[in-house]
Amino acid sequence: MKSTAHRFKAQAREALHDDTLQQALGHAKSGFVDKRAAAVAELPDFERLRDRGQLIKDHALRNLDYYIAQFADNVEAQGGTVHWTSTPEEARETILGLCRDAGARQVIKAKTMAGEEIGINETLEREMETVESDLGEYIIQLAKEPPSHIIAPAVHKTRAEITRLFDEHHHHVDGGRLREAPELVAEARQVLREKFLDADVGISGANFLVAETGSVVLVTNEGNADLSTNLPPTHIVIAGVEKIVPGLRDASSMLRLLARSATGQDMTAYTTFLTGARRAEDLDGPENYHVVLIDNGRTRMLGNEFREMLRCIRCGACLNHCPVYSAIGGHAYGWVYPGPMGSVLTPMFIGLDGARDLPNACTLNGRCGSVCPVKIPLPDLLRRLRDYQFEQHLTTRTTRMGLRVWGWVSRHPRLYHLGTRLATAMLRFAGRGSASRLPLAGGWTAARDLPLPTGSTFQQQWKARGKERRP
């Protein structure tokens, strides 16, 4: 997917003025937050579980070389093949090659953010019919849009928009009857059922990779991953290397964290452990089983200050709790991963230069970090990216100049106090109470009045008071 993160400001503005989008975001906003809060309240040890999640991921990442090799050995011992790829191009070529080898004409996909990251759909669609089986992904595939949320990819779509899309693609009509959600689900299920049965290759992501057993763990609420991975004769898993956990006990802890943080469920409706290719005694399963591991900058992150970001389990809690995300939705961020986690990951994957706004479009309010199931200090990481921007002169010239002058004055207390006295006097000159317009303050006064100083500075008044007290 080509990034438009450099157009963040314009995209955010468009999003704020898009009434349909705002309507959809309004519906979604409190749902995720309330459900998570209720699920967390029911589990008294949730904070300890977060600590455990952090420990498990940190341990796995510190020993990534060991666990990823163990995982690969176990996959291969059970009839699967592991492919190691370092770039998106390499990953796409590998997957395309596997699909060609399988003689694929039709591919069915379960939801995979790693797949979005490498842009696999575009590559496959050139040669074979590629259909998304997750309802949200299916909807946005019809709309030819990228996901706007990592677990609810079509959260930006209203029921009316979805009805229109289904009318167009399923019935080739315009202006059909507005349908209720269950009716739309049943309709999509009907269409997708055929696709599952006809597919030559199934592609999925992975929520966790278990080193101990070589298992791939997948969670869904629709059961689509089970059909995508079991019905076609070939199954290809796409997974970032950071998805590794040491053992089944660890996977179990992570699953408890994931469902509660993502959707407020104790457990997702479907949780599947896929271990190797179909064995002789198995009733079903793919004969050809491949795991395509993706690095794409992840091992570089292991060695830098953003290592903690690799703990991310893609639950979406940080998006759901981010007031900026709630205001503008996911597309404004311009690449695969939106919200706080995306604002750290996008600069890592596509470079800081092409995503200058992302670390800055954040009030550092800290709500994301406080709900992260693996305690990633997201605000600290976003702020740290600003250090790099400043160092690399990616900060705007106005900001740099302003900081230089302000910093110099602030380091000279007498001058600083003279400056604040002057500024206060000037603002007093502008009026009393509040100003609705003021030169150089357009950013502020466009939306709000500026409360003006109520008198001389505190330092002046304090000095005067001291003189009164000590005559």
Site for other proteins, residues 331 to 360, rule: CB under 8 A:
360
Under rule CB under 8 A, residue 426 binds other proteins: no
Residue that is written with structure tokens 């370092």 in the block? 86
CB 62, min distance to other proteins, A = 21
CB nearer to other proteins: give 186 or 403. Answer: 403
Judged by CB under 8 A, the residue of 447, 467, 470, 471 near other proteins is 447
CB 157, min distance to other proteins, A = 20
Judged by CB under 8 A, the residue of 362, 376, 378, 381 near other proteins is 362
CB nearer to other proteins: give 278 or 386. Answer: 386
CB nearer to other proteins: give 83 or 331. Answer: 331
Residue 318 CA to residue 262 CA, distance in Å, equals 9
Residue that is written with structure tokens 């004769």 in the block? 233
- Nearest alpha-carbon partner for 6 in 333, 366, 412: 333
User: Do the strands 208-210 and 80-85 form a parallel or antiparallel pair, or are they unpaired?
Assistant: unpaired
CB nearer to other proteins: give 64 or 324. Answer: 324
Residue 229 CA to residue 225 CA, distance in Å, equals 6
CB 262, min distance to other proteins, A = 20
Judged by CB under 8 A, the residue of 20, 23, 87, 399 near other proteins is 399
Which residues in 279-289 are b (16+ Cβ under 10 Å) and which e? eeeeeebbebb
**Neighbour count for residue 426 (Cβ, 10 Å):** 10
CB nearer to other proteins: give 87 or 396. Answer: 396
Which residues in 160-182 are b (16+ Cβ under 10 Å) and which e? ebbbbbbbeeeeeeeeeeebeee
CB nearer to other proteins: give 20 or 87. Answer: 20
CB nearer to other proteins: give 12 or 110. Answer: 12
CB 341, min distance to other proteins, A = 17
Under rule CB under 8 A, residue 10 binds other proteins: no
CB 11, min distance to other proteins, A = 11
Tokens matching residue 427: 């603002």
Tokens matching residue 344: 């750290």
| x-or-dash string of contact with other proteins, 452-471, rule CB under 8 A | xxxxxxxx-xx---------
Which residues in 103-116 are b (16+ Cβ under 10 Å) and which e? ebebbbbbbbbbbb
In order, the DSSP letters of 333-401 are G-SSS-HHHHHHHHHHHH-SGGGSSTTTS-----HHHHH-TT---HHHHHHHHHHHHHHTT-S-HHHHH
What one-letter code names the amino acid at 102? A
Task: Report residue 357 CA to chain centroid gap.
Answer: 16
CB nearer to other proteins: give 169 or 417. Answer: 417
Under rule CB under 8 A, residue 171 binds other proteins: no
Under rule CB under 8 A, residue 20 binds other proteins: no
Under rule CB under 8 A, residue 389 binds other proteins: yes
C-alpha dihedral sign at 433, 436, 439, 444:
positive
CB 382, min distance to other proteins, A = 10
Q: Count residues contacting other proteins (CB under 8 A)?
A: 62
Residue 70 CA to residue 437 CA, distance in Å, equals 65
Stretch that binds other proteins, among 136-144, 176-184, 347-355, 421-429 (CB under 8 A): 421-429
Tokens matching residue 263: 């959707």
| Contact predicate 270/223, CB 8 Å | yes
Under rule CB under 8 A, residue 370 binds other proteins: yes
CB nearer to other proteins: give 30 or 190. Answer: 30
CB 317, min distance to other proteins, A = 15
CB nearer to other proteins: give 23 or 410. Answer: 410
Which residues in 16-51 are b (16+ Cβ under 10 Å) and which e? eebeebbebbeebbeebbebbeebbeeeeebeebbe
**Residues making contact with other proteins (CB under 8 A):** 9, 12-13, 16, 323-324, 327-328, 360-367, 369-370, 383, 385-391, 395, 399, 403, 406-407, 410-411, 413, 416-417, 420, 423-424, 427, 432-434, 436, 443-444, 446-459, 461-462
